[in-house]
Amino acid sequence: MSLLGGFAAAAPESGGAAGVPRHVAIIMDGNGRWAKARRLPRIAGHRKGAEAVRATVRAAHEIGIEALTLYAFSSENWRRPATEIADLMGLLRHYIRAELAELARNGVRLRVIGDWRKLEPDIVTMLDEAITGTAGNAGLTLTIALNYGAQDELLRVTRDLMRQARSGAIDPEALTETMIEDRLDTAGLPRLDLLIRTSGEQRLSNFLLWQAAYAELVFTDRLWPDFDKAALLDACAVFARRERRYGGL
């Protein structure tokens, strides 16, 4: 079954409709615990988690969400056992091969954020081809965070601004929030509305720190492999009930 297999190719309702967040990000947590509870190897949890990705992408399209950003592999995940990292990279290769045709057919545009070009060369090539092959699509934007860390992202932006300031291209006194946002990995995406974390943990874990400044945060005890359309709808319902003041009254 492919990542987007089974959902209609028709365009969804316009994003931003009443109660529907335009941009949703998810920290997909709990694959290992899901497997442990069933006395299965951790890779079984990751495979089941990939099925949850399919269901969630399909649901986001149907609901009318414009952008879905998934935290797939953090810069800190390199600390995991080498065998688990190898399994994860193998799973990534498999799904890139399996999903590209479906992404294109269903109008989904793929983006990748993070320092992902430091992954193995064949994975980088496959991702480049997937990004190029879906660049003209106008449906849901699916962004995968790979080798991503928000502190690293902000450090890269800071270094770029400092280089331009030294060359005289930028006046430090004229620096604006927009100038920073235009250099973030997420530049061009709608502002983040809703950030969801599964598995009961209640922290951002170095994910979209700048972008989450005024996002609504929803934490659920559900483990990622059990996440589905109903869980996404529940989170969106919580979002719809909240009053967003952005610091005002």
User: 95-123: per-residue pLDDT in tens?
Assistant: 888 777 777 777 899 999 999 999 999 99
Categorize the per-residue pLDDT at 80 as very low, low, confident or very high, splitting at 50, 70 and 90. confident
User: Is the pLDDT score of 230 beyond 50?
Assistant: yes
Domains and CATH numbers, the chain: 23-241 (3.40.1180.10)
Q: Is 76 annotated as a binding residue?
A: yes
CB neighbour list of residue 223: distance below 8 Å, 6 or more residues apart:
29, 30, 31, 33, 34, 198, 199
42-63 vs 229-241: helix crossing angle, rounded to 10: 60
Angle between helix 82-105 and 121-134 (nearest 10): 20
Cβ within 8 Å of residue 230, ≥6 positions away: none
Confidence at 247, pLDDT banded by 50, 70, 90: low
246 band by pLDDT with thresholds 50, 70 and 90: low
Annotated active-site residue 122? The verdict is: no
Q: Is 75 annotated as a binding residue?
A: yes
242 is in an annotated binding site: no
Distances (CA, A) of 82 to 21, 79, 85, 88: 37, 8, 5, 10
Residue 107 sits at φ, ψ, to 5 deg, of 75, 20
| pLDDT, position 240 | 94
Percent of the chain at pLDDT > 70 equals 91
Annotation says 29 is catalytic = yes
Residue 81 banded pLDDT, cuts 50, 70, 90 = confident
